[in-house]
Structure 1
Amino acid sequence: MDAQDRPQTSQARDPLRDTVPIEIPALDDATPPVPPAERPEMIIVTGMSGAGRSRAANALEDLDWYVVDNLPPQLLPALAGMMTTVGAGVHRLAAVVDVRSREFFAHFMDYLRKVREAGTDVRLIFLDASDAVLVRRFESSRRPHPLQGTGSILDGIQHERTLLGGLKGVADTVIDTSRYSVHDLARRVRELVARESDLALRINVMSFGFKYGLPLDADHVLDVRFIPNPYWVSELRHLTGRDAPVAEYVFAQEGAAAFVDGYADLLTPALPSYVNELKPYVTLAVGCTGGKHRSVASAERIGARLRHRGFEVVVQHRDLGRE
């Protein structure tokens, strides 16, 4: 009996891997490990009420920092002790601390010293604004200043400045938000703390079928229903746009390849500007009738073309398998 006719000997079974679906180990192997941080990082956001602490916290949260608002300062050392540099645990934490913590000023520097002695990198960001701007902001929000008591908004602001005077002097960064819009403040925070990987644009290319409705989160929608439908080719009907015969058929049609490639090329110079406008995620939706053939092949081609240009791209097929 020839060697090619002999039955192939099956590979030794792995008891661990063979107890789960065959796709799961492959997915685990393809998942990149979480790189360890050199040291845990903590940012303390403080400053004048009405100067933009909440907006700064939102900007940090958008950058994947774990944010705790209105934290009593005596909890800072305990919270820092829960941070880790291993795996996907919390290693970048932002704490918003302000005058709502009534004992904030008594022992704050002692708590900060304990955190630093524990090996955590700590940065103190102080937000400020002029009295006139702060008064206008409180009046427009129709909320009292937390320290005004029975007095005026300006009385509360002046009291707060007295309490915060020493802290402002030791801050690593002081940001005057008097002339800032909420978007300007978010950009300034990103400039201070964002790493290059945080600022990378994430692009989601999604195929879909028009008969199932438009994706609600689409930023751009491309209609490829002008391309002849492989569904009507009996040899291709059971396949999808991820199969080579379908993709070859789709892009052999007149104008199809030029249209899809031209769409990706048209977007390429504009896409980086989304990050500048504080929108780091963009969804490009590509639709055909059922979301099985033309849109799938086109989404895969657009994704590959954008990856070749250096973008971080995920390709999803919303309606594949629904028919």
Structure 2
Amino acid sequence: MEFLVITGMSGAGKSQAMKVMEDMGYYCMDNLPPALLPKFAELCYESKRTIDKVAVVVDIRGGEFFYSLFKSLEGLTDKGLGYKILFLDASDKTLIKRYKELRRPHPLNQEGSIIDGIAEERKLLEELKNRSYYIIDTSRLTIGMLKDELYNIFLEGGESRKLSILITSFGFKHGILMDGDLIFDVRFLPNPYYIPELKKVSGENKETKDYVFKWPQTNIFITKVIEMLEFLIPFYIEEGKTQLVVGIGCTGGFHRSVAITNEIGKILKENGHRTIINHRELR
């Protein structure tokens, strides 16, 4: 039986994740008091095959009960009940923005600063994050992208590596990708914009892709970028990085960068990496 403990920062998307897990056939329980975790898991395991996939959300909403979580996890281990932890995280900036949009106080600081509440929660969850089998940073993910990431992990092989790679196309004329870890400029390639029949056809289409990839330098560039990423990824994982943002930029973010982003993303997926493809200017 699969027994998944979903936890993480408040506002990082645990509720959305639970809905996705339900769609995938998991029996889900939200805000379970940690003290009940071993007993609940035992009941699930004793159900034989009636319940074979379970996801439980445990977080600081449990108040004082939350502090018994580590003892409860040890109880699962003592009983020989296997489990994995999925930790959802997001940047402080993203969490603050989400709280302000929803006009909600932070659960650890109902009357005070959201920033202070986030800092306290991050400190409380540090050890739990270090114990987690899966870590997803939702800072740059839409609900749809989070769904794709969860489906990729839990329905397509249960990828255990903790680094997810976000490949994003963008247009320099609309501003550089501010949160990119690695930025590649593909404006050295011939621009389909100047081909009348391709001017309004994005890099998502075969006609534009064929034009972009008919140049030898395109394929050489793809090969070299993949080689560089494959060299860097193990070191990012070793350093504890959970998300790598790779930006592919052209002039408008409509033709060349889109076609190349799709190709790099496809190759990384084929190589077994957790990869999300995003096109900033096509939203």
- 2:232 and 2:223 mapped to 1: Cα distance? 15
1:239 aligned residue: 201
- 1:233 and 1:88 mapped to 2: Cα distance? 53
Shift of 1:96: 11
Q: Which AA in structure 1 matches 2:131?
A: V
- 1:266 and 1:221 mapped to 2: Cα distance? 12
- 2:82 and 2:40 mapped to 1: Cα distance? 13
Alpha carbons 1:204, 1:282 under 8 Å: kept: yes
> Residues 93 and 237 of structure 1: is their aligned pair in 2 closer, same or farther, counting only changes over 3 Å?
same
1:228 aligned residue: 190
Q: Tell me, yes or no, if structure 1 residue 76 matches structure 2 residue 38.
A: no
2:102 aligned residue: none
Query: Alpha-carbon deviations, 1:42-79, whole Å to 9, x = none?
Result: 99xxxxxxxxxxxxx87xx99999998xx9x8x72389
- 2:4 and 2:228 mapped to 1: Cα distance? 41
Q: Tell me, yes or no, if structure 1 residue 272 matches structure 2 residue 268.
A: no
**Any residues of structure 2 matched to 1:200-239 within 5 Å, and which?**
200-239=162-201
Which 5+ residue runs of structure 2 have no aligned equivalent? 19-28, 45-49, 84-125, 136-153
Q: Tell me, yes or no, if structure 1 residue 292 matches structure 2 residue 254.
A: yes
Which has the larger share of helix?
Answer: 2
**Any residues of structure 2 matched to 1:24-39 within 5 Å, and which?**
37-39=1-3
SS of 2:232's equivalent in the other structure is: coil
Query: Alpha-carbon deviations, 1:215-254, whole Å to 9, x = none?
Result: 2321111100111110100011121111112111112224
- 1:62 and 1:277 mapped to 2: Cα distance? 24
SS of 2:269's equivalent in the other structure is: helix
- 1:279 and 1:92 mapped to 2: Cα distance? 24
Query: Alpha-carbon deviations, 1:91-150, whole Å to 9, x = none?
Result: 26478999x88xx9xxx8xx96xx87xx99499xxxxxxxxxxxxxxxxxxxxxxxxxxx
Q: How many residues align?
A: 196
SS of 2:200's equivalent in the other structure is: coil
Larger Rg: 1
Percent identity between matched residues is 27
- 1:42 and 1:295 mapped to 2: Cα distance? 35
- 2:213 and 2:6 mapped to 1: Cα distance? 51
Q: Tell me, yes or no, if structure 1 residue 189 matches structure 2 residue 154.
A: no
SS of 1:319's equivalent in the other structure is: helix
SS of 2:169's equivalent in the other structure is: strand
Q: Which AA in structure 2 matches 1:243?
A: N
**Any residues of structure 2 matched to 1:1-323 within 5 Å, and which?**
37-39=1-3, 76-77=35-36, 90-91=55-56, 93=58, 121=81, 189-190=131-132, 197-320=159-282
Which 5+ residue runs of structure 1 have no aligned equivalent? 1-36, 44-56, 124-183
Q: Which AA in structure 2 matches 1:215?
A: L
> Residues 122 and 309 of structure 1: is their aligned pair in 2 closer, same or farther, counting only changes over 3 Å?
closer
Alpha carbons 1:80, 1:120 under 8 Å: kept: no
2:144 aligned residue: none
> Residues 40 and 212 of structure 1: is their aligned pair in 2 closer, same or farther, counting only changes over 3 Å?
closer
Shift of 1:278: 1.8
Q: Which AA in structure 1 matches 2:56?
A: H
Alpha carbons 1:201, 1:272 under 8 Å: kept: no
SS of 2:282's equivalent in the other structure is: coil
Shift of 1:89: 7.0
> Residues 95 and 263 of structure 1: is their aligned pair in 2 closer, same or farther, counting only changes over 3 Å?
same
SS of 1:241's equivalent in the other structure is: coil
Q: Which AA in structure 2 matches 1:214?
A: I
> Residues 186 and 206 of structure 1: is their aligned pair in 2 closer, same or farther, counting only changes over 3 Å?
same
What TM-score, normalized by structure 2, do the two folds share? 0.52
What TM-score, normalized by structure 1, do the two folds share? 0.46
Alpha carbons 1:42, 1:121 under 8 Å: kept: no
